[in-house]
Chain A
Amino acid sequence: MNFKCVYSILALVVAIHNFGIAQPAIDPVIEQVIESIAENLTEENDYSEITERLNFYSKNRININTATIDTLQELLFISPLQINNLLSHREESGLFVDLLEIQGIRGFDTETVRRLSHFITIEPPNLLTDLTPKNLAAKGNHDLMIRFGKVVEKQDGFRSSDVNAPAYAGSGMRVFTRYRYNYVNRLAISLNMEKDAGEALFQSPGRGFDFYSANVFLKGNRLLKKLVLGDYALQFGQALTMWSGLGFGKGAVLTSLAKPNIGLRPYSSANEASFLRGISATLEHNRFSLTPFISCKNVDATKSDSGEEINSLSFSGLHRTSTERENKGAASQWVYGLNSRYQRKPWSMGLTAYRTQFSLPFASGKTLYEKYEFSGNSLVNLGADYNYSYKNAYYFGEFAHSFRSGSALINGLILSLSNQVSIAMLYRGYARNYHSFFNQGISESTGAVNEKGFYSGLTVKFSSKFELITYADFFRFPWLKFRVDAPSKGYELFAQLSYNMNKMFKVTTRFKHQLKAENAEPEINRGIDEVEKQNLRIELSYKLTASLSIRNRAEVSAYRKGMASAEYGFLSYQDIIYDPLSSRISGNLRFAIFDTAGFNSRIYAYENDVLYGYSIPAYQGRGIRCYANARYTFQRGFDIWLRYALLSYSGQQTVGSGHDMIQGNKRSDFKIQLRFQF
């Protein structure tokens, strides 16, 4: 069996597995925002956190007359320049009285204002209501959601033979329970409980659910601004030093290049790795704020044979097999530190220092490409970040240093040249020996390490109907990488032209070209080869009636490695979306046909799902994919969602691999979700 084959199978496992996870916010505005941000991300991310955040603000509207930078940044679709202009306008011209005023502010177009209007209100500033027990009970609201899902066909991991028990300890049912309590933006409680397919539930090896996450979040208006007890996320600066939770990279939204410095936020995602557990608070006095944090949790790790060293950390959150359960919480991690921030418009500066400590040391890298990776059991990180806006320009950057090893630097600029044209530029230089366990800086590879690059992007609004987004990114990897046994370089080009004829009809075409290096196939030569990937996509969406819309997409991908001939992939789908304004029922359907030569020419596409579910699976191989989602509202505050999805391959005897393998050519999945709000 050659390596190519192993990789394809591995990839298939990953891809198939991800068919299982599962989203659209049924709210079309939220869906648009998510889709524009998410499209360039991969399938491993949990977008539910953003859906939840946007849903929250669409119910608990932000009062634009009291909104701060932090809150506005959380909306993600408004750029730092727009936020600055909006706040300056409020300072200079006084409180807003009408939404139309925003449209007059420099840098705001009708589309942004339309989106914004879903999340804000215009009210006079009012004092916060008191936290009295009476108020808490009367004005707070509760939100309880339960989701079940299962793959219908039996996977090998659940089969037992005469000698062996099944590889997976638990049942194939996925269970997710989510509870939120919220009291007028002042106090929030959140609880997530999850069990993945194959994990045990209330059985001897497991105790109840496999994963719990909970927190209490308090928002104040005096010295204490925020307090989180339990699971939280920290998002500082440009994500080089400390950024937990979901981060964004290069994408079809140029402004997402500048990371919003959100600071402390309660953790609400079902991702089992990317959070901190303990206590943290933000104290603010005048222009200064301080965020101390401390966290202690167990992390999943594979240990060396002697059991005294960590070989690698695992972030999948899956604990189905005996090995996975053995690795569960195999090491403990302490994180403690402090972020301080000084804000004086148009400046904002931050300093972050923290220490990460593990109960076991990391083994030093065994292979050459891992030579500069972290070893030992304690790491101190320091970071300094800034942002500054001047007229039509927004500057941002961060310098980060890991003690006794390397540094990382990022500097960027977003410039709106005119009402129609804006550009973005970003330079990054990350040392090969820069270490941080919470680093999500903009990069081509995962994490800000061993990379230098320059990004330049351009957005042009030719008219209210035509928009062009394009960027070029050149990158260089000074040291070896996984599967690239030499320093290498590459580039990425992206162009997207969209035409909004009116609210009823929209066409988008997108082209992406990427060139990178990878080890040559061993039977060919021992050097590295160029790998070229190209994607061309055309998407049409139009409204047939007020409640019925249609979406079509066709996408072609091409993959070529070295001198080998190119491999092609094709995907087309038809979506039907039924979303009447006032009806108990809404839903959507997809029928897709895909035909790709293999894993390398796979094509990613966003899928609708139940609320807070999500997926951007890779379509690969040859076959059809269809799904149906439906939502029914029994009464206000009581909804049910149903989803059925089918993946049917042509010319395959099995689907998936390893313990997830299914005998036959089909894989189908259903989901039921209930939500009560009271």
Chain B
Amino acid sequence: MKYIFLLLILSHTSVNAQKNPGPRYAAMGSAGTALQGIWSMQLNPSGITAIEKPEMALAYERHFLDQDISSQTALFTFPYSGNVFGFNVERYGFTEYMELHAGIAYARKLGRSLSLAIGFKYHQLSIAGYGSASAFSAEAGFQFSVNEKLILASHVANPGRSRYEVLSGSNIPVKLSLGAAYRFSNKVAAACDLIKILNFPTDIRLGLEYSLIQHFSLRGGISANPFKQYAGFGFNYNRLSVDAAVSFHPALGYSPQIGLGYEF
């Protein structure tokens, strides 16, 4: 049974390989291309230009509940005289199948409304009985604040079409994301992404965040392809933030995750 599942995951993985978007963005349908904060490291690093102090974040996601598959993510970002640097490390899989991604990103604001970022990633994949492989990829993205409410963004991952030299069944996705985020009021924000991964159908994602009361937010979202529903909440107090999210796939079930953030 596990091997059937593995096959499923393997075919599914190349879509997901690029990391967990973190509990905040995941709860918003993973539509995070135009959102800002430390978790932008995962979807579009130009969003980290919004941070003002060094920050770190951790997340743990359990994929499809009853299985052993999980991902662990650690992020660190710090601003330095107008530049922002970010690091991420992520592990995904289970004993027999393991992916490791480590990346560095550099982001900077150009003028008041434009943020740019570039990043590099190291990928490693090991499958029990088949050996391991590694590869490097690049990414770049920008965010543009049209006005105080609207941000438009774009991100491209692995434009050079890097791939694992061995274990060629599993690949590093070539991905273009276009996103928009709109802040309706200081309580309500929405985000929408259009995502194309080479050789996969186009996905549209939609997410919503609502600050129910101070320090506490509710989130929800959907994605169209594959069809998934998402929900979550976040709590932040002073420097600490705790976020939780769950995604639901009609065939594969629930994937819950929890994350922790700290601002130095």
Chain A residues at the B interface, C-beta cutoff of 8 Å: 415, 417-421, 423, 454, 456, 458, 460, 462, 470, 472, 474, 476, 489-491, 493, 513, 515
Contact = CB atoms under 8 A, between A and B. Distances in A.
Nearest to A475: B250
Interface of B: 182, 184-185, 187-188, 190, 206, 208, 210, 220, 222, 224, 227, 229, 248, 250
Nearest to A422: B188
Given A470-B206, A472-B229, A491-B227, A456 B220 contact: yes
Contacts, number: 49
Given A454-B229, A458-B206, A474-B229, A418 B187 contact: yes
A460 B227 CA distance: 21
Contact of B227 (A420, A421, A456, A515): A515
Contact of A472 (B185, B187, B222): B222
B224 A474 contact: no
Contacts of A513: 224
A515 B226 CA distance: 12
11 contacts: A417-B184, A417-B187, A417-B208, A420-B184, A421-B188, A423-B210, A456-B220, A460-B190, A472-B222, A489-B250, A491-B227
B190 A421 contact: yes
A467 to B, nearest CB: 13
Contacts of B222: 456, 472, 493
Contacts of A423: 208, 210, 220
A392 to B, nearest CB: 10
A395 to B, nearest CB: 15
Contacts of B248: 474
Contacts of A418: 184-185, 187-188
B245 to A, nearest CB: 15
Question: What does DSSP make chain B's interface, helix, strand, loop or mixed?
Answer: strand
A327 B106 CA distance: 78
Question: What does DSSP make chain A's interface, helix, strand, loop or mixed?
Answer: strand
A474 B230 CA distance: 12
A458 B250 contact: no
B246 to A, nearest CB: 12
B119 to A, nearest CB: 32
Nearest to A471: B222
Q: Which 6 A-B pairs have CB atoms at the shortest separation, nearest pair first?
A: A472-B222, A418-B185, A417-B188, A418-B188, A420-B184, A421-B188
A456 to B, nearest CB: 6
Contacts of A419: 185
Contacts of A470: 206
A303 B8 CA distance: 50
A477 to B, nearest CB: 12
Contacts of B224: 493, 513
Nearest to A423: B208
Contacts of A417: 184, 187-188, 208, 210
A419 B190 CA distance: 14
Given A415-B210, A418-B185, A421-B184, 15 more contacts: A417-B187, A417-B208, A417-B210, A420-B185, A456-B220, A456-B222, A456-B229, A458-B190, A460-B190, A472-B222, A474-B229, A476-B250, A490-B250, A491-B227, A493-B224
B210 A491 contact: no
B159 to A, nearest CB: 30
